[in-house]
């Protein structure tokens, strides 16, 4: 009799836990872009880590600063050495939630609008953010996309006077991450 | 009664979805089993510490254009405007063939000397997934001077005007501000003035930099020449110190040195100035980086 109980408990337990699902990726993409009169800055990171928990909507990002690749090697060096100080602050993180997760049907393919709210930490500075984007459900994978601007001053990233006109004060961030179910 | 613990367990299982991992646990999920290898970047701002080579190369596909300028000696007085009326200039370029190998060429106004070099990063300091405590680069150059022959009637050999230098550059970046380098060198001269002079001249030197802000550092460099190698003329150790100022794609290095020579042979084996006598030369390097070949992901 005892054995049956164990079986039942495990089965029931698994069924209930089955409702919760985690989607993850280790090679999401983040592109940063800014255009100022003298200098165009563009960098791509294709090793972005993200995890999305359904049904709670918890959504986290972990980005290694050194994984941003620039067209100009020297710009990449300055980005790490002088602006983001990646030795001191090696990663950027986002801890947040998809607030309208209830409106998204993860069992039905389609593109759903999503609102994400949470805390973005870059260069050791945490700032609350709220952004809109989309979630695309296709072939069991979830692709989150968003495009927004962040202000360098929010993250204590200072621009020296000598190049203040060369560098834009805000940076456009494009996020595209395709996550698959974690087993 | 015996069933109570099982009911409790069942309840726990039912409650389990509510105990789902919070955001921090999700973040833990993203932790890499293997942390990425972190190669130490920018041990020095540019390919020179002050006047001598640093372990750095231009990045792959990048060309460094470098102008080196030394004025005359400060102790030549007002009549010579403290050296401002004289100049030795080397104009050079360096190119990063890949992540490790770079080559360079240069032309020096001192005896119209042409030089060419190769620099190879053998070992790279790294942390994270793989650790290594220092960087090691090998440097080799050849220089040849091309002024008119002093005795054109005699049979002259081009080889007698050639000098070579081999250096082992060993450097470590301590934290983000301090970098130190040890530089053993060997200079070979095909022709020396007297038979007592050595053809192979050994020096041991080093240098370092200390960042005082994100874009400014103080640098110094010293090379000791072992006694008894150069006897037909008086030569001294080379000491240089200066400031690096970085502005975008340029690095300005302004310095004082007792070496007029700008090639390795010139400042390692032929430094005739002495700091104590005021044989000090004001100099500067201006370098500019150009991206010649873009990284793969940025090619159209």
Q: What is the pLDDT of residue A8?
A: 62
What residues of B are in contact with residue A49 (Cβ under 8 Å)?
30
Positions of chain A with pLDDT under 50? 15-16
Per residue in B149-169, pLDDT (tens digit) is 888 888 888 899 999 999 999
pTM as predicted: 0.83
Per DSSP, the three-state class of B179 is: strand
User: Are A171 and A41 spatial neighbours (Cβ–Cβ below 8 Å)?
Assistant: yes
Decide if B20 and A19 are in contact by the 8 Å CB cutoff. no
Decide if A20 and B22 are in contact by the 8 Å CB cutoff. no
Sort A39 into a burial class: Cβ within 10 Å, 0-12 / 13-18 / 19+: middle
In CATH, the number for domain A22-181 is: 2.40.128.110
What residues of A are in contact with residue B3 (Cβ under 8 Å)?
5
Helix axes A2-17, B4-15, angle to 10 degrees: 10
Per residue in B18-31, pLDDT (tens digit) is 555 567 777 777 77
Mean pLDDT of chain B: 90
B5 or B170, which is more confident? B170
Average pLDDT of span B227-244: 94
Q: What is the pLDDT of residue B9?
A: 61
Residue whose C-alpha is closest to residue B56's, from B91, B90, B102: B102
Task: List the domain boundaries for chain A.
Answer: 22-181
Average pLDDT of span B65-86: 93
| Residues 90-119, chain A, touching B (beta carbon < 8 A) | 90, 93, 95-96
Quick one: what percent of chain B has pLDDT higher than 90? 73
Per residue in B248-295, pLDDT (tens digit) is 778 999 999 999 999 999 999 999 999 999 999 999 999 999 999 988
- Nearest Cβ partner for A163 among B3, B13, B248: B248
Quick one: what percent of chain B has pLDDT higher than 70? 91
**Which residue in A has a C-alpha nearest to residue B300's C-alpha?**
A71
Q: What is the pLDDT of residue B10?
A: 60
Residue B132, pLDDT above cutoff 60: yes
What residues of B are in contact with residue A44 (Cβ under 8 Å)?
297
Give the confidence band of B33 by pLDDT, cuts at 50, 70, 90.
low
- Nearest Cβ partner for A58 among B23, B62, B175: B23
Residue B57, pLDDT above cutoff 90: yes
- Nearest Cβ partner for A16 among B16, B30, B298: B16
Whether A9 has its CB under 8 Å from any CB of chain B: the answer is yes
The DSSP call for residue A80 is I
User: Are B50 and B241 spatial neighbours (Cβ–Cβ below 8 Å)?
Assistant: yes
Q: What is the pLDDT of residue A169?
A: 84
What residues of B are in contact with residue A36 (Cβ under 8 Å)?
none
> A82 Cβ partners below 8 Å, 6+ apart?
B214, B215
- Nearest Cβ partner for A69 among B60, B61, B295: B295
* Domain architecture of chain B: domains with CATH: 46-294 (2.40.160.40)
Question: What are the contacts of B295-299 at 24+ separation with CB within 8 A?
Answer: B295/A69, B295/A70, B295/A71, B295/A73, B295/B60, B295/B61, B297/A44, B297/A69, B298/A42, B298/A69, B298/A71
| Strand-pair category, A141-151 with B87-96 | unpaired
């Amino acid at each position: 009799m005892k054995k049956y109980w164990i079986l039942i408990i495990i089965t029931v337990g698994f069924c209930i836990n089955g409702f919760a699902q985690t989607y993850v990726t280790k090679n999401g993409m983040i592109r940063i872009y800014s255009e100022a009169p003298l200098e165009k800055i563009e960098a791509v990171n294709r090793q972005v880590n993200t995890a999305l928990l359904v049904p709670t909507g918890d959504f986290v990002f972990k980005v290694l600063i050194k994984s941003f690749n620039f067209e100009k090697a020297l710009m990449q060096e300055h980005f790490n050495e002088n602006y983001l100080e990646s030795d001191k602050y090696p990663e950027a993180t986002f801890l947040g939630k998809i607030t309208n997760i209830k409106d998204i049907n993860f069992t039905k393919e389609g593109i759903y609008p999503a609102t994400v709210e949470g805390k973005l930490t870059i260069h050791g500075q945490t700032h609350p953010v709220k952004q809109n984007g989309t979630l695309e459900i296709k072939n069991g994978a979830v692709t989150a996309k968003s495009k927004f601007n962040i202000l360098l001053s929010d993250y204590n990233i200072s621009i020296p006077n000598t190049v203040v006109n060369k560098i834009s004060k805000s940076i456009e961030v494009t996020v595209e991450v395709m996550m698959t179910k974690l087993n | 009664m015996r069933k109570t613990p099982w009911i409790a367990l069942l309840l726990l299982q039912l409650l389990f979805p509510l105990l789902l991992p919070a955001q921090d646990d999700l973040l833990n999920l993203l932790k890499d089993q293997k942390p990425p290898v972190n190669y130490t970047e920018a041990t020095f701002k540019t390919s020179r510490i002050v006047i001598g080579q640093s372990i750095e190369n231009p990045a792959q596909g990048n060309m460094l254009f470098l102008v080196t300028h030394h004025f005359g000696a400060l102790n030549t007085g007002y009549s010579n405007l403290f050296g401002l009326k004289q100049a030795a200039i080397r104009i050079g370029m360096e190119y990063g063939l890949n992540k490790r190998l770079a080559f360079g060429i240069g032309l020096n106004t001192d005896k119209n000397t042409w030089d060419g070099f190769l620099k190879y990063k053998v070992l790279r300091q790294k942390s994270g997934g793989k650790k290594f405590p220092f960087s090691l680069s090998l440097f080799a150059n050849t220089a040849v001077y091309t002024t008119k022959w002093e005795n054109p009637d005699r049979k002259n050999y081009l080889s007698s005007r050639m000098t070579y230098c081999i250096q082992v550059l060993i450097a470590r970046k301590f934290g983000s501000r301090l970098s130190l380098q040890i530089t053993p060198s060997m200079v070979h001269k095909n022709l020396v003035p007297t038979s007592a002079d050595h053809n192979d001249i050994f020096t041991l030197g080093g240098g370092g930099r200390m960042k005082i802000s994100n874009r400014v550092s103080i640098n110094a460099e010293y090379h000791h020449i072992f006694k008894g190698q150069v006897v037909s003329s008086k030569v001294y150790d080379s000491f240089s110190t200066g400031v690096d100022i970085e502005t975008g794609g340029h690095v300005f290095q302004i310095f004082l040195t007792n070496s007029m020579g700008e090639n390795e042979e010139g400042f390692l084996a032929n430094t005739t100035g002495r700091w104590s006598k005021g044989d000090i030369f004001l100099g500067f390097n201006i370098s500019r980086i150009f991206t010649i070949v873009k990284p793969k992901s940025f090619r159209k």
